[in-house]
Structure 1
């Protein structure tokens, strides 16, 4: 991901927030036939305070991705959206796209069956806890045999990235009044309304560059 000093994001807490809020990621690797990609949900490793993530893939995606054998690129994508040149005022300008994203690279470690089961349990709870009547992985009518059978069709992994590239392009290189206009347009009910992107732009403005 090409960097620009105005948009680089290095703060670990902000990168952790990005992963926490956007757990659906793209896993990219190089296989015998070229590039391969899969899409799965991941979690931050709750035993660490760095950018280590845990997750799982279904078989045979583990073999296709070379999980545990080859470098894996994990692409995390946060809020993003179109920015019209008309929002800059009466100046020469072209359209652009604002976004927040991170690339985590490294060779993942394979989890044991017990560790994988714990990650699967935590993953289900992560999304069920907000439901009116949460249904955990071990809740009836699921039984242990059912859970173990499903878990056996997955492979868990832990990735402590050896390289991290974070980028938050939120019009930080524009004057404050232009940023205000863009945020207002994104909050409006127009064709490119985008509340989540507007919120990220406000956050980027408060935190400033290299955060």
Structure 2
């Protein structure tokens, strides 16, 4: 991802927030027969406060990616959407696409079977905790045989990124008044309405003005 200093996102806390809110990630590596991409849930490592992430791939994707042996890129995609130049008022402008994206790259560490199982259990907890009552949250069965067979079909990994590229392209190059107009349009009812993108733009605008998000 090409970086532009005007759109660079360098605050680790903000990068962590984007990763936490958008765990469905794309894993890209250069395999023996060319580029390969897979899609998996990837979480922040809850034992660290940096940008280390953990996840798993299903077998044989570990072999396809050469997991643990070569560099992998993990891409997280936050809110994104079309921005019409008609929202800018009577000025010369062109369409664009606003987005928030995070790329982490490096050579991942392969987790032990026990560590992988803990990651799988945490993934279940993270998403099942959002389930409403009365059913409550689903948990892994108290059946060691079943759980071990489930875990055996996956390979867990931990990535301490050697390189981080994070980009928040949210009309920061436009006057604040124009940003406000775009936010209003995104919060409306038109075909490109996107409240989540509007919220990210408001957050970036407030940071630009020195206000707390």
Aligned match of 1:199:
199
TM-score, length-scaled by structure 1: 0.96
Q: Does 1:163 align with 2:163?
A: yes
Q: Secondary structure at the match of 1:6?
A: helix
Instruction: Kindly report structure 1 stretches of 4+ aligned residues shifted beyond 2 Å.
Output: none
SS in 2 for 1:41: strand
- Give, in whole Å, the separation in 1 of the partners of 2:118 and 2:88: 50
Q: CA deviation at 1:208?
A: 2.4
- State the partner residue of 2:29: 29
Q: Does 1:10 align with 2:13?
A: no
Structure 1 gap ranges (5+): none
* Aligned equivalents of 1:78, 1:150: Cα separation in 2: 30
* Offset, 1:125: 0.5
Q: Secondary structure at the match of 2:102?
A: strand
Partner of 1:78, secondary structure, is strand
Deviation at residue 71 of structure 1 after TM alignment: 0.1
**Per-residue deviation, residues 78-123 of structure 1 (Å, max 9, x unmatched):** 0000000101111111100000001100000000000000000000
- SS of aligned partner of 1:56: strand
- Count of aligned residue pairs for this structure pair: 207
Does residue 188 (structure 1) correspond to residue 191 (structure 2)? The answer is no
Other-structure match for 2:94: 94
CA distance in 2: counterparts of 1:119 and 1:91, whole angstroms: 51
| Greater RCO (CA < 8 Å, at least 6 residues apart) | 1
TM-score (structure 2 length as normaliser) = 0.95
Query: How far apart, CA to CA, are the structure 2 residues paired with 1:175 and 1:31?
Result: 44
Unmatched tracts of structure 2, length 5 or more: none
What is the rounded CA distance, in whole Å, between the counterparts of 2:104 and 2:19 in structure 1?
Answer: 10
124, 135, 139: which one aligns with 2:138: 135
Give the 5 Å matches for 1:55-134: 55-132=55-132, 133-134=136-137
Q: Secondary structure at the match of 1:10?
A: coil
